[in-house]
Amino acid sequence: MRDKHYLMVPGPTPVPPAVAAAMSRPVIGHRTEDFAQINRQITEKLQKIFQTENDVFVFTNSGTGAMEAAVANTVSPGDTVLALITGNFGERFAKIARAYGAKVMEINFEWGSDVDLKVVEEKLAEHPEIKVVLATQNETSTGVTNNIAGIGALVAKTPALLLVDGVSGVGAIEIKADEWGVDLLCTASQKALMLPPGLSMLSVSAKAWEVVKNNRSPRFYFSLPAQKKAYEKWNTAYTPAVSLFFGLDAALDLILAEGLEQVYARHALLAKAVRNAVRSLGLKLLVEDRCASNALTGVWGPEETDVDGLRKVIKQQYGVTFAGGQGILKGKIFRIAHMGFADKMDVMIAVSALEMALAQAGCSVELGAGTRAAQEVFLGRAE
Ligand SMILES: Cc1ncc(COP(=O)(O)O)c(C=O)c1O
């Protein structure tokens, strides 16, 4: 059936019916009381999810826009920036800082591993000139979750600001912006927040505002002072994607109604089921359990099998879309997302499709081994 799809890529993710319905409301003018009221509600709800009392702004652009806004407002040309890189999106953050004239000091961790706090501690001690530290909460290219609390504790001992890319983590994996010392936290609509692409969100700490005010980088659309001024009246500096704001308000309601703890526990359960299933099918996980993401799982392709060909079969014959590898992992891994509007049966469908495609590709696979392993997790029978 042509219209039946199971979208299991790490963004965009499926949109719940209540969110789709909210987005179909008639558009309203954005310089109105009605919009101001919605924008205020959205801000308060985002503060709960970010666990912050800081300002939170919504921009009409994809997640990279929030990352650029974070950098453009805190990095002046010539500043030393420490980039903690665990994959493709860590690299992107470093590239943005370089584009704004920073002297970027990179620490590259092996793809599939997380940030080693000891290395960060040493680097910060050796280089007191570091002004900004860039980190990724959830590295989508590998499926690694970094220890932001640990990184935050180290950065908090220095005058540096901590900028965190939480694009694929926020809403799926806990983050406590204030308690963990995250100065600027970025995220986007199309991942765990269950919306189509088009919005990004950014929180800004009091410590960061001092830097923002004196920043020498050029900025216009991404000017945080301009956005803050507009937000005094619960407006946005430029025309917002009003329909997406309606959807965001509804999506945040769904998250808060389920409860943050429950949302995180659901993601952890789905991740555990996928990992159990993958292992039972004799495939290798890219990331060890200790730092494995609850939002998506990276899997090495079976030996002597065209992994992108396998994904093609899964998509064309079963309607299930997995993501491929990025950068150095292109053609070597596939990624199964289980974030946002995802539940147990999504995992069952994904694993079942994977089993069939493996069998079709001639891999030695015991049909039912993966689905059974996932079921055991859901029934509370797995360790
Ligand atoms: C961790 C991470 N950072 C940044 C981005 C970039 O976001 P966007 O594609 O919305 O610009 C993504 C998108 O996949 C991501 O997963």
* CA–CA separation, 114 and 243 (whole Å): 37
pTM for the predicted model, two decimal places: 0.98
pLDDT above 90: residue 2: no
Q: Which amino acid is at 355?
A: E
17-257 — its CATH code?
Answer: 3.40.640.10
- Give, using CA atoms, the residue closest to atom 12 of ligand 1: 167
Task: Please identify, by atom number, the ligand 1 atom nearest to the C-alpha of residue 138.
Answer: 1
Pocket mutation for ligand 1, best pick of 139, 167, 189, 222 (most atoms within 8 Å of C-beta): 167
Which CATH number among 3.30.1240.10, 3.40.50.880, 3.90.1150.10, 3.90.45.10 corresponds to the domain 259-378?
3.90.1150.10
* CA–CA separation, 207 and 371 (whole Å): 49
pLDDT at residue 3, as a whole number: 80
H-helix or E-strand spanning residue 230: helix 224-231
Q: Is the dihedral of CA 103, 128, 201, 274 positive or negative?
A: positive
Domain ranges for the chain, please list them.
17-257, 259-378
Task: Please identify, by atom number, the ligand 1 atom nearest to the C-alpha of residue 11.
Answer: 14
Q: How far is the CA of 12 from the centre of ligand 1 (A)?
A: 10
Burial 6-43 (b: 16+ CB within 10 A, else e): bbbbbbbbbbbeebeebbeeeeeebeeeebeebbebbb
- pLDDT > 90 in the chain, percent: 98
pLDDT at residue 259, as a whole number: 98
Is residue 356 within 8 A of residue 310, CB to CB? The reply is no
Task: Please identify, by atom number, the ligand 1 atom nearest to the C-alpha of residue 65.
Answer: 11
Around ligand 1, the residues with Cβ closer than 6 Å are: 10-11, 62-64, 89, 136, 138, 140, 165, 167-168, 188
Tokens of 94: 């470093």
Q: How far is the CA of 240 from the centre of ligand 1 (A)?
A: 20
pLDDT at residue 1, as a whole number: 62
What tens digit of pLDDT does each residue of 253-310 get? 999 999 999 999 999 999 999 999 999 999 999 999 999 999 999 999 999 899 999 9
What tens digit of pLDDT does each residue of 84-99 get? 999 999 999 999 999 9
As a whole number, the mean pLDDT across the chain is 97
pLDDT at residue 97, as a whole number: 98
Average confidence (pLDDT) over 216-245: 98
Task: Please identify, by atom number, the ligand 1 atom nearest to the C-alpha of residue 188.
Answer: 10
